[in-house]
Chain A
Amino acid sequence: MTQPALPDEEKTVLDEGIETGASRLTEEKITAVINRVLYGEGGARIRVYVDTCVHCGLCAEACHYCLSHDNDPRYSPAGKVKQTLWEMIRKKGRVSVEFMKQAAQIAHTQCNLCKRCSMYCPFGIDVAYMMSVVRRMIHLLGMTPQYIQSTAHSHSATMNQMWVKGDEWPDTLQWQEEEARSEIAGLRIPLEKEGAEIMYSVIGPEPKFQAQLIYQAAIIMNAAGMDWTMPATSGWDNSDMAMFTGDSELMGRIKRRHFETALRLKVKKIVMGECGHAFRSVYDTGNRWLGWRMPPIPIVHAIEFYYDLLKEGRIKIAKKWTDPVTLHDPCNVVRGRGLHEKARYVVRQICENLIEMHPNREHNYCCCAGGGVINCGPPYKMTRIRGNRVKAEQLFATKAKGAKTLITPCHNCHSGLEDINHYYGLEMDVKFISDILYAVMEKPEKA
């Protein structure tokens, strides 16, 4: 086709990680890495998927990037494969440095790996997997976008995503404990309690700049009378940017530390906060890399945890949230774990009025932040926002029906939807479930 590979508006992006990495490349090196990934590490799925795709274009319907760019075919799932893997296979890996720079942008910033397209392809072809394959090549070529690579470095050096130092972690927990004790006397955030029923794990950004979420979790755990603990060592962070950069080896190290921490504490299960990508890593990808078909210890996402608490009557609601709410279904816990009905149960228990957005459940539109895209940082903020106009339209339609609060039980979705909210002037109130649960629940005065 005569169209340029990248739309003009995306060409202004200059990413130091990609540029510097690309400046060190030779075409021989590119060819070697592509062939290593295509025919050495992988092979079965790539080959079958590429051979089976009949170029029907039905996946275009699935992708929020494509829908948001007036159905520009370059943003369709198969269109992205065409601009990356098809070309690499056709040229037997002999592609230029320029080509790889574009491939890096496409795979890292124009696909959230949300897998909606797998549900729209008649053959169930997994384009998200193919974009991950491209990211793996980009990683091996050392040209991953700078911001997300920095978080991967942090994982590698500190075993958490946000460069939280060893002493800062327990310090933050104690700080939140102290804060919470002014509300509930005697409340504890139990550290290193061996044999507790639950290890509660969070993502790096929580202690870094959303410490109130740990506070809320402590209040909820306390009110429900749970036997829980948090590790004082590394292994507390369940997040995983390495999974998104294609650094599988590092992903394995992070997840091993997480699982081993839970096993060291001899807990019965891991309960995790409202994060989607971390759930994907712990429940679906990290365990596989380590050779576990399913996680070696039960993993309970916050949605499911709140569901159990409410269902068992462990938490009582003082007064339901009055503003009409709508619920965003995050890909990793809905399309990735089927928690949509449980999420609705929870929301109905704590809010007076739930107004559905459409499409919803498995078919919901992505937040455009997940899959590591928001972690590629400020250079791509507008790529995300322009790439998700359809989300704004979906939310405007829901707002027109009266929804004021937007509940999103996932960190990436939360941040991505805040951006959509501000840029498009939605003026909705974006909340985690725990924000609302904390606000409406009955709280004991003493722990």
Chain B
Amino acid sequence: MNEIYRFVTGPLAWASFLVFIVGSIVRIAHMIYLVRTKEGFIFSYISLKYGLRSIINWLIPYGPVNMQRHPALATVTFIFHFCLIFTPIFLLSHVVLWDEAWNVSYWSMPDTVADVLTVVVILCCVFFWFRRRLQPEVRYLTSPSDYAILALVAAPFVTGFIAYHQFPGYAFFSILHVLSGEAMLVAIPFTRLSHMLFSPFTRAYTGSEFGAVRHVRDW
């Protein structure tokens, strides 16, 4: 068990971070290459000012009209994305791992806070799951891969929660936790989780067209 643990937190962790980072760079580079070769005109329209204007306005909670129309979803989405990114980065045991591997140390949150945030992420995933099942317009668009992605995102938090609380079989769940976290990282560049990489670009481009050419807001 220890050897497996050492493997998944050692070489496999390295590998997954590598795939995540290199994969992300390759995907973005490929996108820029495609734009340059096929739709070069986009470079003449993309505008830093209006791109940022659009991104910032879509980051303001309940700012855009569509968020005002779906306040519950907007709330859950904001909380979910915040917890999803914040929790693993500032979790004490993760900071310890960075310290051991790289000798870098930074602020971490108390474990009870992390515990709450973990449960919040899981609850948000449950919310999204039900939304996919019950809302007709979402259900129509949903394919099995959408559930798989949702499960992939929830898995590190569920397993982490089990491992932290040392429920029966927690050693096994610790390994599963690391594995699922790595799986999620690796999946980011190659699945619809890539919206993490691409959404700033799509938003900025639409914001540029709406702002600089059309002279209107896009939110």
Binding site for B on A (CB under 8 A): 1, 3, 41-45, 47-49, 51-58, 60-62, 66, 71, 73-74, 76, 78-79, 82, 118-120, 122-126, 284, 288, 293-294, 334-338, 340, 359, 362-363
7 interchain pairs, CB-CB under 8 A: A43-B34, A57-B138, A58-B73, A73-B137, A124-B58, A124-B202, A125-B206
Q: Name the B residues within 8 Å of A73 (CB-CB).
A: 136-137, 139-141
Residue among B70, B141, B202 making CB contact with A49, cutoff 8 Å = B202
A45: contacting residue among B39, B217, B218, CB under 8 A: B39
Which of A1, A44, A55, A122 is within 8 Å of B58, CB to CB? A122
Looking at B117-125, B162-170, B172-180, B191-199, the stretch in contact with chain A turns out to be: B191-199
Name the residue in A53, A55, A126 with the highest tally of chain B Cβ atoms < 10 Å from its Cβ: A55
Task: Given contact pairs A45-B39, A54-B192, A123-B198, enumerate 11 new A-B contacts (beta carbons under 8 Å).
Answer: A52-B195, A52-B198, A58-B66, A58-B70, A61-B66, A73-B140, A123-B202, A124-B54, A124-B202, A334-B216, A359-B65
Q: What total of A-B pairs shows CB separation below 8 Å?
A: 135
What's the nearest-Cβ distance from chain B to residue A236, in Å?
Answer: 26
Main secondary structure of the interface of A (DSSP, over half): helix
* Least Cβ–Cβ distance between B125 and chain A, in angstroms: 14
B202 and A48 within 8 A (CB) = yes
Are the CB atoms of B202 and A338 closer together than 8 Å? no
Partner of B198, one of A48, A284, A338: A48
Complex CA gap A351/B35 in Å reads 48
In residues 45-74 of chain B, which contact A (Cβ within 8 Å)?
Answer: 45, 54, 58, 64-66, 69-70, 73
- Assess whether B141 is in contact with A338, with CB atoms less than 8 Å apart: no
**Is the beta-carbon distance between A55 and B142 smaller than 8 angstroms?**
yes
Other-chain contact of B39, A44, A125, A340, A362 (Cβ < 8 Å): A44
Checking B31, B201, B217 against A362 with a beta-carbon cut-off of 8 angstroms, the contacting residue is B217
Decide: A120 and B66 in contact? CB cutoff 8 A: yes
Distance, CA A43 to CA B44, complexed state (A): 18
B72 → chain A, closest Cβ, in Å? 12
How far apart sit A257 and B194, CA to CA, in the bound complex (Å)?
43
Contact of A71 among B69, B136, B218 (CB under 8 A): B136
Give a binary string over B118-154; 1 marks a CB under 8 Å from any A CB, 0 the rest: 0000000000000000011111111100100000000
Partner of A338, one of B34, B58, B194, B216: B216
CB distance from A316 to the nearest CB of B (A): 29
In whole angstroms, what is the CA distance A326 to B91 when docked?
57
Neighbouring A residues of B137 by C-beta, 8 Å = 57, 60, 66, 71, 73, 76, 79
Q: Which chain B residue has the least Cβ–Cβ distance from A76?
A: B137
Q: In the complex the two chains form, is A44's CB within 8 Å of B42's CB?
A: yes
In the complex the two chains form, is A52's CB within 8 Å of B140's CB?
Answer: no
- B141 near A52 with CB under 8 A, answer no
Most chain A CB within a 10 A radius of its CB, from B31, B44, B199, B214: B214
B6 within 8 A of A: no
**Are A48 and B31 within 8 A (Cβ)?**
yes
Interface residues on B, range: 35 or more
**B205 closest partner in A (C-beta):** A124
Q: Decide if B65 touches A119 in the complex (CB within 8 Å).
A: yes
Chain B residues with CB under 8 Å of chain A are 31, 34-35, 37-39, 41-42, 44-45, 54, 58, 64-66, 69-70, 73, 135-143, 146, 192, 194-195, 198-199, 201-203, 205-207, 210, 213-219
Q: Which of B135, B146, B218 contacts A124 (CB 8 A)?
A: B218
Q: Residues of A contacting B41 with CB < 8 Å?
A: 288, 293
* Cβ distance A120 to chain B, nearest Cβ, rounded Å: 4
Determine whether the beta carbon of B206 is less than 8 Å from that of A54.
no
Cβ-defined partner of B38 (8 Å) among A44, A71, A293, A340? A44
Nearest Cβ on chain A to B73's Cβ, whole angstroms: 8
Q: Shortest beta-carbon distance, A419 to chain B, in Å? A: 27
Q: Report the Cα distance A122→B74, complex, angstroms.
A: 10
Instruction: Report the separation of the CA atoms of residues A126 and B143 in the bound assembly, to the nearest whole angstrom.
Output: 21
A contact residues around B66 at 8 Å (CB): 58, 61-62, 119-120, 122
Contact in complex: B194, A52 (CB < 8 Å): yes
Expressed in whole angstroms, the Cα–Cα distance for A320 and B45 within the complex equals 42
CA distance A56 to B95 in the complex (A): 33
Knowing A119-B218, A124-B203, A338-B214, the reply to whether A55 touches B35 (Cβ < 8 A) is no
